[in-house]
Structure 1
Amino acid sequence: MARQKSFIKLEGELGGILFYQTKDGFVARQKTGVSGDKIKSDPRFARTRENNAEFKRGAQGAKLIRSAFRDIAAGIADKRITSRLIREAVKIVKSDPVSLRGERNMLEGDQELLTGFEFNVDGTLASTFYVIFEASLDRVTGQATIDIPAFNPQKMMLIPEGTTHFRFLAAASTVDFENSRFRSARVASAELAVNRDVAALQLNAAFTPDANEQTVFVAFGIEFLQLVNGQHYPLINGNFNAMAFVLIDKPQA
């Protein structure tokens, strides 16, 4: 690697030399690497092609899941959720115990590896809500249920400054990885005051009748609010809002 000493600083490629800027200044180096055509055809890059194919399936699966929960996660998901979700989805692809290497996929992989996945690492559900709740799913009735016992918000929640109220959110989505489709339903509790005890409550999200053939993902979260002149407004700083996958149910083969 060589430093550019000319008063004219170059960026780009010229004559097989790459010119670019780093934190140490403008540098130049000879272009190296393997052509895309060679990677696609050379037997020596078979493993590379396999890894690329499986990464692509993981990325596609992550995009499908992200789309299924995009609506309910608005104002909660952090800026790195896409890259984090892809990383976990690739792990699911690689957990496929039946397909050949390079052909492993989300459908056959262990999708339950996403259980506990946090939509917002800056405000996780575990560090925000300390109450032990129960998540369950009934494929016969088509109901995903979150049961929350009575609790005192002041003692059992991490409440951001400026919060007057909060609400619970839940969503269930049937995800069809084979056909790249999903169907989602969401539900929210009433606005609950942070300075009053909360009675036991239940959230029910209905999922689609054909779910017996698909994996059902269930997410649960909290959104913090501020009451101003009779209107509940989401806090401008959404870093404390939290949501996670609390139940993932894959149909039995």
Structure 2
Amino acid sequence: MAKQKSFLKVAGTLDGLTFYKSVDGHLVRTKGGVSKNRIMNDPAFIRTRENIAEFSTTAQSGKLLRTSIGTMLNRAKDPRMSSRMMGIMSKVRQLDGVSARGQRIVGEGILTAGGKQLLKGFDFNNRAALQAVFHAPYTLDTVTGEVTIPDFVPLDQLNVPEGATHVSFRSAFINLDFATGEFETQYSLVVNTILDMSSTTITLTPSQVPAGIGSQLYLLLIEFFQEVNGVQYPLRNGAFNVLNLLEIV
């Protein structure tokens, strides 16, 4: 894989070379390899077909999780979030100890303690990890989904980006069944506060406990804003915002 350095950027296939754009820039690679028909039918590629099948179901599980989070995800994510999640989901799938090779799924792997531990603490925006930004103790009630941050002092317990004047908090409680694809998400109200040295207790309570069966996920969103003439604007399009999967049970 090579990078295009010419001022004229090409996309498509030309003389056996494929030109394309990715998050790493404009790249070029050679065209070729085994035909799709052979991969899907030749007995020699049975392991490859198994890997393709598991890759597909794993990708679907990652998409399902992202969909269940709703608009919160748009407020705090990095360009490589999907690929980072895919890597973790693949490890979760490998913990499926009941399905045959080629049929292992995230829905089984996530039922294990190891699977939950792999996904717990996932930062959807690796430019703003929870542990790097948020330095306050908190409690999580896994029955109600309530997150409590007692005696919170913003300027003392946050790594505040330059230009920010306010911060808001919101939590989500998701009941997600990876096997069936069904989910329900409940959100707390947004709690917005000025960035100063005042002490306050932040309480984030989802509107209700989500219905259904499956894995229960608890997320925390932290957003920074800059106030100008009484209006709060998202700081740098959310580059400093935090979205973290606090717990999964």
Considering the TM-score relative to the shorter chain, is it more than 0.5?
A: yes
For residues 20 and 64 of structure 1, do their structure 2 counterparts lie closer, same or farther at Cα, with a shift above 3 Å needed? closer
Q: Which residue of structure 1 aligns with residue 188 of structure 2?
A: 187
| Aligned equivalents of 2:201, 2:240: Cα separation in 1 | 23
Write out per-residue CA displacement over residues 191-237 of structure 1, whole angstroms, 9 at most, x where no aligned residue.
Answer: 11111323223211233232xx2111111121011223333222134
- Of 169-178 and 55-64, more deviation after overlay is shown by 169-178
For residues 174 and 21 of structure 1, do their structure 2 counterparts lie closer, same or farther at Cα, with a shift above 3 Å needed? closer
| Aligned equivalents of 2:98, 2:138: Cα separation in 1 | 35
SS of corresponding position for 1:97: coil
Contact 2:72 2:221 in 1 (8 A): no
Mapping of residues 229-244 of structure 1, within 5 Å: 229-244=229-244
Q: Which residue of structure 1 aligns with residue 37 of structure 2?
A: 37
| Aligned equivalents of 1:84, 1:19: Cα separation in 2 | 28
Q: Which residue of structure 1 aligns with residue 167 of structure 2?
A: 166
Q: Which residue of structure 1 aligns with residue 119 of structure 2?
A: 114
| Aligned equivalents of 1:126, 1:19: Cα separation in 2 | 43
Runs of 4+ more than 3 Å apart: 11-14, 19-22
SS of corresponding position for 2:48: helix
Length-normalised TM-score, structure 2: 0.82
Q: Which residue of structure 2 aligns with residue 92 of structure 1?
A: 92
| Aligned equivalents of 2:100, 2:29: Cα separation in 1 | 42
Q: Which residue of structure 1 aligns with residue 218 of structure 2?
A: 218
| Aligned equivalents of 2:236, 2:29: Cα separation in 1 | 44
Write out per-residue CA displacement over residues 28-80 of structure 1, whole angstroms, 9 at most, x where no aligned residue.
Answer: 97x64222122112222111111111111110000000111131122211122
SS of corresponding position for 1:33: coil
Write out per-residue CA displacement over residues 79-131 of structure 1, whole angstroms, 9 at most, x where no aligned residue.
Answer: 22111112211111111111111111011013412101001001111100011
Give the AA of the match of 1:35.
S
Q: Which residue of structure 1 aligns with residue 178 of structure 2?
A: 177
Contact 1:39 1:49 in 2 (8 A): yes
**Which ranges in structure 1 are unaligned for 5 or more consecutive residues?**
1-8
SS of corresponding position for 2:106: coil
Contact 2:173 2:210 in 1 (8 A): no
Query: How many residues are treated as equivalent by the alignment?
Result: 226
| Aligned equivalents of 1:28, 1:170: Cα separation in 2 | 43
Q: Which residue of structure 1 aligns with residue 4 of structure 2?
A: none
Q: Which residue of structure 1 aligns with residue 149 of structure 2?
A: 148
CA RMSD of aligned residues (A): 2.3
Contact 2:191 2:204 in 1 (8 A): no
Contact 1:167 1:188 in 2 (8 A): no
Q: Which residue of structure 2 aligns with residue 3 of structure 1?
A: none
Larger Rg: 1
For residues 74 and 21 of structure 1, do their structure 2 counterparts lie closer, same or farther at Cα, with a shift above 3 Å needed? closer
| Aligned equivalents of 1:19, 1:116: Cα separation in 2 | 41
For residues 201 and 12 of structure 1, do their structure 2 counterparts lie closer, same or farther at Cα, with a shift above 3 Å needed? closer
**Which ranges in structure 2 are unaligned for 5 or more consecutive residues?**
1-9, 21-27
For residues 236 and 19 of structure 1, do their structure 2 counterparts lie closer, same or farther at Cα, with a shift above 3 Å needed? closer
Length-normalised TM-score, structure 1: 0.81
